[in-house]
Amino acid sequence: MAKYAIEVENVKIRFNLASEKVDNLKEYAIKLMKHELMFQEFLALQDISLKIKKGESWGFVGANGSGKSTLLKTISGILQPYEGTVKVNGRIAPLIELGAGIDPQLTARENIYLNGMVLGHSREFMEKHFDEIVEFSNLDKFLDSPVKNFSSGMKARLGFAVATVVNPDILVVDEVLEVGDMRFRRKCNERMQQMLSGGTTLLYVSHNIESVRNLCQYAVWLDEGKIRMIGPSSEVCDAYAAEQEEQVQKKQKEKRERLRKEGRKYDYLIVGAGLYGAVFARELMKRGKRCLVIDRRSHIGGNIYTEDVDGIQVHKYGAHIFHTSNQRVWKYVNRFADFNNYINSPVAVYKDELYNLPFNMNTFSKLWGLKKPQEVQAKIAEQIADLHITDPQNLEEQALSLVGRDVYEKLVKGYTEKQWGRDCRELPAFIIRRLPLRFTYNNNYFNDFYQGIPRGGYTGMVEKLLTNVDVMLETDFFEYRKEHPDMFDKVIYTGMIDEYFDFCYGHLEYRSVRFETERVEEANYQGNAVVNYTDREVPYTRVIEHKHFEPEAEQENPKDFSIISREYSMEWKPGIDPYYPVNDEKNNALYEKYRALAEQEKNVIFGGRLGSYKYYDMDKVIEAALADSAKELNIWIQ
Amino acid sequence: MDLLRYRIKTLFKYKDLIQELVARDLKLKYRRSFLGYIWSVLNPLLTMIVLTIVFTHLLGKKIENYPVYLLSGRMLYDFLKASTTNAMKSVVGNAALLRKVYVPKYIFTLAKVTSCMVDMVLSLGALFIVMVATGSQFHLTLFLLPLVILQLYIFCCGLGFLLAQLNVFFRDIQYIYSVVLTAWMYFTPIIYQLDDRFPRWFHIAVKGFNPLYYYIAQSRDIIYYGNIPGPRVFWGGWLIAFVMLAIGVWSFQRSKDKFILYI
């Protein structure tokens, strides 16, 4: 038994481009007389050396014309090498094209025999395996109809069934499985897997890199007839995919730049490079629309912007933890970033005590020393009952009636007062509708299915979303519109809706926050990403230690310093960054007035947190952007 | 010697394929026509009738039992024409297949010549009918007919290989060859008798340089005259057949690896 199934050594395949076009005597004679019989050589393969052991599976990738099929044909014996040698040990079943050798005039039954014999089987052998082939190809009803009446999928089934009737020593598959329906392809894949486990050597060419990755142990990347890379298939596939992606990007970038130089008009002007704008732009770009994204700030990403400070991703506009229960959104963001498995479990500091958040059994047992959920439930019920609040008139009474005095005093009161800048007794009750209490020992702050933070920060994710979209930073929409009123057809506006209408009905109100970011020379400042301060005496509401959002980055590259941000809640006034819309009755009514105006603006779509005056989590923003863009593009989504 | 053994082994391996290809040719020929096999008999019969009517009235000197005389030559010519023309197209015609699967290319040429031979054997029925109809005698020498057919079969294989190979490189060979075939027919005593009306140089040219003459002369002897063929045409026939086969195989073998680049 030879060790290698296939040995290819220094193979060169040469075509003569000039003389192959002369295929008749007349032209030949004329060219001969005129001395025009030139020799124009073309090397389809050069210096190809490969050693493939029995039972291995090899994928071949490369652009069109890179020599993949030529190589497989050489191994199959269809082409003879011009130089070098090809040694093959074992029987080859070539699937260069399914249904090669199928005669359309003959019936399926006759074709099974003919095709089998073309592949070198004997009549006796074919008779023995006839039923097996018919069963696999699922054509028993059409056995005696001429193949010319078959669909291409049926022909493919027939071809595959015949070619793989016996476990060949070497199976050569050249992009033939791209035809046919899903079921057939799955069946073929199963068959190939089964043959592979039975010791068959597989040579596989496909433009579908994923299938090469899944099916093959090794891969060869051919480029203009030469081996560009050879090795484990995942490595080769990654490198090949990366280069392909790069080339596509380069081409698109060139086109983008050319259009920009020509001063061509944009289909859409997107105001604001935040998450809503970026997702919207990406969806429009995917459908071939040309977009310009502008932003007042000097960076993309809006409030989810993260800045790399000496290897730590700093959440410049507050902690952003991605969480969602929408699988579609989760899959969507994962296309643009690798998410880590960060789970938000903040802690609260009240004076010199420390409690787990959200309010759960860990919190309660620390508060009261109780262990059993029933005891805790009884304790809280007792505290609530003692207060005799039936109709809460303000936030304090509302909160007390929900969680009782201990939790309220230590964990709610101070924090809420700092957040709103006023006493809880002066705040309306509706701000807190419910305070979820958890009677399990579970510190996971969110209840969503999926949670995480993009490795390397959110900015990279937004950058990827904005691939192939023109972006202009530090550009004010109102000035741009004045200077270039003809540069765009439509506007996606994610800024403050009242500003768009020049505050004609007055200002909408917001809450804002301010950050004091500081570098501390400590490797681990507070041991958690988020620590809330719930007593009124501490001026800030919480402290964020950014490195804990990315524990894996810290593990890879430990740093002996840390970046922390103290978060202060503050009243918003014109000129500072707005964060949270104040959705009270007064502001909502005002917003409705603006919204009515917005509906009059035919060529402007308002969206995002500021454009629709609504508190959005990141997943909800993406959902909204996907829905709005689909509506704009007239696409139905499920 | 090893190479020869290897070749014979592959030929043996692909014998079922040849069989299947021959069967396919015949099936396709007969399947979807109303008269089916009858065509194989009817076709030479009708040609014979036309030619008989034309030539018995045109030619001054009458040939005795002209229908049998004509058929005994014409059949071989028809076989030569059909088999070599089909063989010529056999490699190019299977280009789609040869580009995808490794199959020895000569298989297709061989299958075409073989299916034409089978077709000819089937059309012997026409000869039988004519012989019965004209009341001609059945000679014992008829048993030698397979030998003649075998000789011509070998000859046609050789010529077929040569033409198939040439056709890959020069597609206009087809047109040239059809002219050659017409000339060849008139250069062979099929519809006429090679008698003293023809000049001496013509006799020498036909008998010395026309391979087809050797096979037609033999078949005439066997069928029409009831003679055992003379040693010159008999052994000459075998010799020519094998020389042609050698030329065909050599030329095919020499260029077969380049086919794929041209088809």
Is the ipTM of this structure higher than 0.85?
no
- pLDDT for residue A188: 80
Residue A274 maps to a domain:
yes
Phi, psi for A308 (deg, rounded to 5):
-80, 110
Q: How far is A188 from chain B (nearest CA, A)?
A: 19
Does position A638 have pLDDT exceeding 50, yes or no?
A: no
Does position A633 have pLDDT exceeding 70, yes or no?
A: yes
Global pTM reads: 0.64
CA distance A260 to A361: 59
- pLDDT for residue A507: 92
Beta carbons of A110 and B24 less than 8 Å apart: yes
User: Are residues A425 and A361 part of one domain?
Assistant: yes
Residue A251 maps to a domain:
no
- pLDDT for residue A429: 84
CA distance A519 to A314: 11
The stretch A120-146 carries a mean pLDDT of 85
CB-based contact, A375 to chain B, within 8 Å: no
- pLDDT for residue A501: 94
CA distance A57 to A204: 8
User: Are residues A411 and A279 part of one domain?
Assistant: no
Q: How far is B193 from chain A (nearest CA, A)?
A: 36
Beta carbons of A24 and B102 less than 8 Å apart: no
CATH number at residue A486: 3.40.50.720
User: Are residues A279 and A322 part of one domain?
Assistant: yes
User: Are residues A410 and A361 part of one domain?
Assistant: yes
What is the overall mean pLDDT for chain A? 88
Residue A323 maps to a domain:
yes
Does position A247 have pLDDT exceeding 60, yes or no?
A: yes
Does position A98 have pLDDT exceeding 70, yes or no?
A: no
Question: Per the structure block, which two tokens stand in for A434?
Answer: 């419910």
Q: List pLDDT tens digits, range A52-76.
A: 988 889 999 888 888 888 888 888 8
Report cis status (omega within 30 of 0) of the bond before B229.
Answer: no
Residue A420 maps to a domain:
yes
**Alpha-carbon distances of A436 from A360, A384, A407, A530, B177, rounded to whole Å:** 9, 15, 12, 19, 95
CB-based contact, A600 to chain B, within 8 Å: no
CA distance A396 to A415: 12
Residue B136 maps to a domain:
yes
Question: Per the structure block, which two tokens stand in for B33?
Answer: 């026509």
Residue B13 maps to a domain:
no
In DSSP terms, A511 is beta-bridged to A571, A580
Residues of B within an 8 Å Cβ radius of A: 13-14, 16-17, 19-21, 24, 27-28, 31, 96-103, 169-173, 176, 257, 260-262
Residue A463 vs residue A156, higher pLDDT? A463
Quick one: which of B154, B219, B157, B166 has its CA closest to B188?
B219
Residue B6 maps to a domain:
no
- pLDDT for residue A255: 82
CA distance A28 to A34: 10
Cα nearest neighbour of A21 on chain B? B262
The stretch A255-284 carries a mean pLDDT of 89
- pLDDT for residue A23: 73
CA distance A266 to A290: 5
Residue B187 maps to a domain:
yes
Q: Which residues of A touch B171 (CB under 8 A)?
A: 23-24
In sequence order, which residues have a C-beta less than 8 Å from that of residue A458 and are 6 or more positions away?
Answer: A301, A304, A305, A306, A315, A320, A337
CA torsion angle for B144, B145, B149, B152 (degrees, to 10)? 70
Residue B25 vs residue A458, higher pLDDT? A458
User: Are residues A458 and A411 part of one domain?
Assistant: no
Q: Across chain B, where does the E strand assignment appear?
A: none
Does position A185 have pLDDT exceeding 50, yes or no?
A: yes
Kind and range of the H or E element at A606?
A: strand A604-606
CA distance A607 to A622: 11
CA distance A389 to B32: 97
Cα nearest neighbour of B255 on chain A? A80
CA distance A212 to A314: 39
pLDDT-derived band at A478 (thresholds 50, 70, 90) equals very high
Residue A400 maps to a domain:
yes
Q: How many domains does chain A have?
A: 2
Q: List pLDDT tens digits, range A189-201.
A: 888 888 888 888 8
Signed CA dihedral, A610, A611, A617, A618: sign only: negative
Q: Which residues of B touch A97 (CB under 8 A)?
A: 100
Residue A487 maps to a domain:
yes
Our measurement of the distance from residue B40's CA atom to the centroid of its chain's CA atoms, rounded to an integer in Å, reads 15
**Alpha-carbon distances of A440 from A37, A443, A448, B59, rounded to whole Å:** 88, 9, 16, 118
**Owning domain of residue A620:** 266-337+450-507+582-632
User: Are residues A371 and A298 part of one domain?
Assistant: no
Q: Which residue has the tokens 């009261």?
A: A368
Q: How far is A244 from chain B (nearest CA, A)?
A: 28
- pLDDT for residue A531: 96
User: Are residues A353 and A320 part of one domain?
Assistant: no
Quick one: which of A229, A255, A259 has its CA closest to A242?
A229
The stretch A305-317 carries a mean pLDDT of 94
Beta carbons of B173 and A114 less than 8 Å apart: no
B100 closest CB neighbour out of A23, A96, A120: A96
Residue A200 maps to a domain:
no
Q: Which residues of A touch B100 (CB under 8 A)?
A: 78, 94, 96-97, 100-101
Q: How far is B17 from chain A (nearest CA, A)?
A: 5
Q: Please identify every residue of A annotated as catalytic.
A: 434, 438, 511, 542, 567, 615, 617
Residue A422 vs residue A268, higher pLDDT? A268
Does position A20 have pLDDT exceeding 60, yes or no?
A: no
User: Are residues A302 and A271 part of one domain?
Assistant: yes
In sequence order, which residues have a C-beta less than 8 Å from that of residue A331 and are 6 or more positions away?
Answer: none
- pLDDT for residue A276: 96
Q: Which residues of A touch B14 (CB under 8 A)?
A: 117, 120
Signed CA dihedral, A187, A189, A195, A201: sign only: positive
Contact A49, A87 (CB under 8 A): no
Buried b (16+ CB within 10 A) or exposed e, A26-61: ebbeeeeeeeeeeeeeebbbbebebebebebbbbbb
Strand, helix or coil at A175?
coil
Residue B8 maps to a domain:
no
Under-70 pLDDT residues of chain B: 1, 32-36, 59-61
CB-based contact, A586 to chain B, within 8 Å: no
Residue A307 vs residue A149, higher pLDDT? A307
Q: How many domains does chain B have?
A: 1
CB-based contact, A79 to chain B, within 8 Å: yes
- pLDDT for residue A604: 94
CB-based contact, A105 to chain B, within 8 Å: yes
Beta carbons of B100 and A105 less than 8 Å apart: no
User: Are residues A397 and A327 part of one domain?
Assistant: no
* DSSP string covering B73-108: HHHHHHHHHHHHHHHHHHHHHTHHHHTTS---THHH
Q: List pLDDT tens digits, range B135-153.
A: 888 888 999 999 999 999 9
CA distance B73 to B63: 14
pLDDT-derived band at A421 (thresholds 50, 70, 90) equals confident
- pLDDT for residue B34: 65
**Owning domain of residue B46:** 26-262
- pLDDT for residue A372: 94
Residue B17 maps to a domain:
no
In sequence order, which residues have a C-beta less than 8 Å from that of residue A313 and are 6 or more positions away?
Answer: A306, A307, A456, A457, A546, A549, A550, A553
User: Are residues A468 and A501 part of one domain?
Assistant: yes
CA distance B126 to B70: 12
Q: Which of A11-15, A401-405, B176-180, B221-225 has the lowest mean pLDDT?
A: A11-15
Q: How far is A88 from chain B (nearest CA, A)?
A: 13
- pLDDT for residue A522: 93
The stretch A343-365 carries a mean pLDDT of 93
- pLDDT for residue B28: 78
Residue A214 vs residue B146, higher pLDDT? B146
CB-based contact, A103 to chain B, within 8 Å: yes
Residue B80 maps to a domain:
yes
Residue A398 maps to a domain:
yes
Neighbour count for residue A164 (Cβ, 10 Å): 21
Residue B140 maps to a domain:
yes
Q: List pLDDT tens digits, range A514-544.
A: 999 999 999 999 999 999 999 999 999 999 9
- pLDDT for residue B257: 83
B17 closest CB neighbour out of A76, A77, A118: A118
Contact A411, A348 (CB under 8 A): yes
Q: Max Cα separation, chain A?
A: 116
- pLDDT for residue A37: 63
